[in-house]
C-alpha cells in the first residue's frame, strides 16, 4: 500500500518515520505547498512534489495522510484531496468537528473515497476510550487529564508577550486530583484543581521580568484560571532541556454496576509520549491502513476512529489476531 | 431491543443488572437448564424458562447472552443457540478460541445470525488494547499484569487440598515490576517477578496446617513458580472479608518511533473492578447492542470484539458521539 504525505513539518516527518516501521506500507511521494527543492526527506528515491501536481499521482498513491494544521489548512485541504484520494487527517478543533465532518463526507461520498478525520490521541485514542468506557459503564463519570506535556498554543501565547524571546509551556496534571479519581472518590474538580501550568521563558536583555510574569499569570483563558509557575532561563538552557515535544495524559471513567448500583469500577487509559507529533503520526498511519481496508470492502464517505473496526488497523489477519492477541 | 439471558449464575445476574441500566435494552426472558421454579430473578414480569423451550421465543428475543462456562457449556451451547438467535458469549479458554470460532462461525453463517465470542475484559478489552497498541507502535513490547483479584481456578485448586474447608486466592501484580515497565525500562520479567499469589484458607479443625501450606506452595502450574503467601483464617473472616470477586489489571505496551527508533512511548490500560462478573456482564451487554447493529446492516457469522466498530457498542448515534466524545 503506497502512502502519500501532504505537508512536511513535524507531523509529516513523523508519518515518514512511522511508514518505515510498517512492512505492508511504503511512501509514494511527499507533497508540499512550499518549494519542493527546499525539502529534504529521509527516504531515498521518493519524490517531493508541489501540492498542485497531486492529481498526476492518482495511480501511484493509494491513500494520502494530510499533515496540515486545523486552523486554516485542513478545513479546505481535506475535502479537496478527498475528491481524488482516500485521506486521513488529524483535525483537532473539537467544536468544528461536525462542520468538518459534513464537508468532508460530501466530498468523499461524491468521489467514492474513504476519509478518516480527527485521528491522533485527543481527538483519537482518548475519544475511543471515552466511547468504550461510556458504553460499558453507562452510570459513571468521565475525567481527562492532559500532560505532563508541551502545549504549543500556550507556548505561542507566552511568546507574543512583549519582552519574550522564547517560551515553552507545560501542562501538568495535579497528582492529588488524579489519585482522588483513581481511588473511586468521584470528586468534582475545578479547572485549577485538575492542572497546573509551568512556563519556561527566555526574556530579552533588560526586559521587565516582573511585568512578563504578571502578563502570563493574568492572561484570560490561557492562564488566569490556573496555578501557573514562571521560570526565566537562558536560550541555551531552553535549547538543551526544552526542545522536545513530550505529551500524554489519562482518560478515566469511574462507574457503578449491580442491582443496587453500589459496585465500583475504574477504567483508566494513560499515554506517556516522548514526542507528540511522532506518536500522532503513528496513529495516522494505522488508520490509513484501516481506510484502505474499508475502501476495499466497498465503503466510502467520512469516518472517525469510532467507525473503524479495530482489526482494520492491524497488519495481521483476523485469524492471526485471534491466535495472538485475543 | 429485547435480550435473553441463558444461564443465571453470577454472570447472568450481572447481565440482568446491566440491562436495567440501558434505556435502549430490555430483558425478554431468562433460560436455564436447572428447574425454572427454583430461580428468582430481579425483573418483574419476565419469564424464567427451560433451556429446551428457547426456540418458542424466537419472536420475543432479539439477541441471547450466553452465561455458561467455557469448559463444557459454551463449546456446545454457542453454536447451538447461534442456529436460531444472534448470540454473545464470554468464552475465555484462549488456546481453544480458533476451534470455537470456526464452530460458531459455521453455525451462525448457516442461520444468517451474528455471534460475538470471547467478550469480557481478558479476552475482550485487554485484547482490544493489545491490538490498538501493537498497530500504533509496531516496534515495542507487550506486558499484561493481572490483579489484584480473585482467581477462581486457583481458589478451587486450594479447596481440593485435604484438610481445606474454604479458600480464596488473590493474584497480585508485583508493584516494582509494573513501575519498571511504566518507566520505559523494557525489562525481561520472569513469572515470579510479575505476580505474587496470596491464599486465605479455612482449615478443618485439627488439620495439619504446615502440610496444607506446603501442598499449596509446591503445587505445579498453579503455585510453584510464584512467591505464595498462605494465611489461615476463620470461616467467619472469610465470609466477612473475602466474599467479593474483585479483579482487574493492566495492559501496557512500550515502544519506539522516529528515524533512529529512539523516541519512547508508553500506552497503558488499567481496570480496577470490584466485581469481575458484573463488569464482564456490562461488556457483554454493550457487545449485544453492537451485534444487533451489525445484523441490521446485513452482516452475519462469528465476530470478536476486534471486528465490532466501536460506535456500534454505544447507544448514541454517530452524530451524538462526534459531538460529545470525539
Q: For residue B67, give how far its alpha carbon lies from the nearest alpha carbon of chain A (Å).
A: 16
The neighbour count for residue A233, using CB atoms within 10 Å, is 17
Q: For residue A47, give how far its alpha carbon lies from the nearest alpha carbon of chain B (Å).
A: 18
pLDDT band at A272; cut points 50, 70, 90: very high
Please give the pLDDT value at position A158.
97
Please give the pLDDT value at position A83.
97
Number of residues in chain B? 326
* Facing residue for B264 by CB, picked from A274, A308, A318: A274
Please give the pLDDT value at position A249.
98
Cα R_g (chain A), whole angstroms: 22
Which residue of B96, B144, B258 to mutate against A (max A Cβ within 10 Å)?
A: B258
Q: What one-character-per-residue DSSP string does A173-240 give?
A: E-HHHHHHHHTT------HHHHEEEEEEEEEPTT--HHHHHHHHHT-TTTTTTSEEEEEE--HHHHHH
pLDDT band at A227; cut points 50, 70, 90: very high
Torsion of CA A75, A80, A86, A90, to 10 degrees: -20
Distance (Å, whole) CA A232 – CA A212: 10
pLDDT in tens, B134-162: 999 999 999 999 999 999 999 999 999 99
**Residue A158 — φ and ψ, nearest 5°?**
-70, -40
* Facing residue for A278 by CB, picked from B263, B279, B282: B263
Contact B134 A325 (CB under 8 A): yes
Nine-digit cell string for A152: 504549543
pLDDT above 90: percentage of residues in chain B: 98
pTM above 0.80, yes or no: yes
Please give the pLDDT value at position A170.
98
- Residue B306 C-beta-side C-alpha neighbours within 13 Å: 31
Query: How do strand A263-273 and strand A149-150 relate by DSSP bridges?
Result: unpaired
pLDDT in tens, B22-64: 999 999 999 999 999 999 999 999 999 999 999 999 999 999 9
- Closest chain B residue by Cα to residue A41: B259
- Closest chain A residue by Cα to residue B181: A272
Contact A257 B98 (CB under 8 A): no
Residues in chain B within 8 Å Cβ distance of A185: none
pLDDT band at B68; cut points 50, 70, 90: very high
User: Rounded mean pLDDT of chain B?
Assistant: 97
Distance (Å, whole) CA A275 – CA A295: 30
| SS3 label, residue B165 | strand
pLDDT in tens, A69-101: 999 999 999 999 999 999 999 999 989 999 999
Residues in chain A within 8 Å Cβ distance of B305: 310
Amino acid at each position: 500500500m503506497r502512502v502519500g504525505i501532504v505537508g512536511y513539518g513535524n507531523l509529516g516527518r513523523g508519518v515518514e518515520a512511522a511508514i518505515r516501521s510498517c512492512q505492508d506500507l511504503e511512501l509514494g511521494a511527499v507533497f508540499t505547498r512550499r518549494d519542493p527543492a527546499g525539502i529534504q526527506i529521509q527516504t531515498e528515491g521518493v519524490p517531493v512534489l508541489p501540492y498542485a501536481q497531486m492529481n498526476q499521482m492518482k495511480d501511484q498513491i493509494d491513500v494520502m495522510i494530510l499533515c496540515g494544521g486545523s486552523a486554516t489548512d485542513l478545513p479546505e485541504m481535506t475535502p479537496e484531496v478527498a475528491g481524488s484520494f482516500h485521506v486521513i487527517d488529524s483535525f483537532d478543533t473539537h467544536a468544528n468537528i461536525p462542520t468538518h465532518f459534513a464537508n468532508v463526507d460530501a466530498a468523499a461520498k461524491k468521489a467514492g473515497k474513504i476519509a478518516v478525520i480527527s485521528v491522533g490521541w485527543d481527538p483519537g485514542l482518548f475519544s475511543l476510550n471515552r466511547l468504550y468506557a461510556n458504553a460499558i459503564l453507562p452510570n459513571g463519570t468521565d475525567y481527562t487529564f492532559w500532560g505532563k506535556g508541551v502545549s504549543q498554543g500556550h507556548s505561542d501565547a507566552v511568546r507574543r508577550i512583549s519582552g519574550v524571546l522564547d517560551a515553552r509551556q507545560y501542562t501538568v496534571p495535579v497528582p492529588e486530583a488524579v489519585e482522588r479519581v483513581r481511588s473511586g472518590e468521584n470528586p468534582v474538580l475545578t479547572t485549577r484543581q485538575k492542572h497546573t501550568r509551568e512556563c519556561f521563558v527566555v526574556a530579552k536583555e533588560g526586559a521587565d521580568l516582573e511585568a512578563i510574569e504578571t502578563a502570563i499569570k493574568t492572561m484570560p483563558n490561557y492562564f488566569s484560571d490556573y496555578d501557573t509557575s514562571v521560570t526565566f532561563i537562558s536560550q541555551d538552557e531552553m535549547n538543551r532541556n526544552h526542545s522536545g515535544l513530550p505529551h500524554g495524559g489519562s482518560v478515566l471513567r469511574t462507574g457503578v454496576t449491580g442491582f443496587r448500583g453500589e459496585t465500583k469500577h475504574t477504567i483508566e487509559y494513560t499515554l506517556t509520549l516522548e514526542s507528540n507529533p511522532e506518536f500522532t503520526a503513528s496513529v495516522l498511519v494505522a488508520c490509513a491502513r484501516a481506510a484502505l481496508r474499508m475502501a476495499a470492502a466497498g465503503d466510502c464517505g467520512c469516518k472517525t476512529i469510532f467507525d473503524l473496526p479495530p482489526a482494520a488497523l492491524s497488519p495481521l489477519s483476523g485469524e492471526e489476531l485471534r491466535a495472538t492477541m485475543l
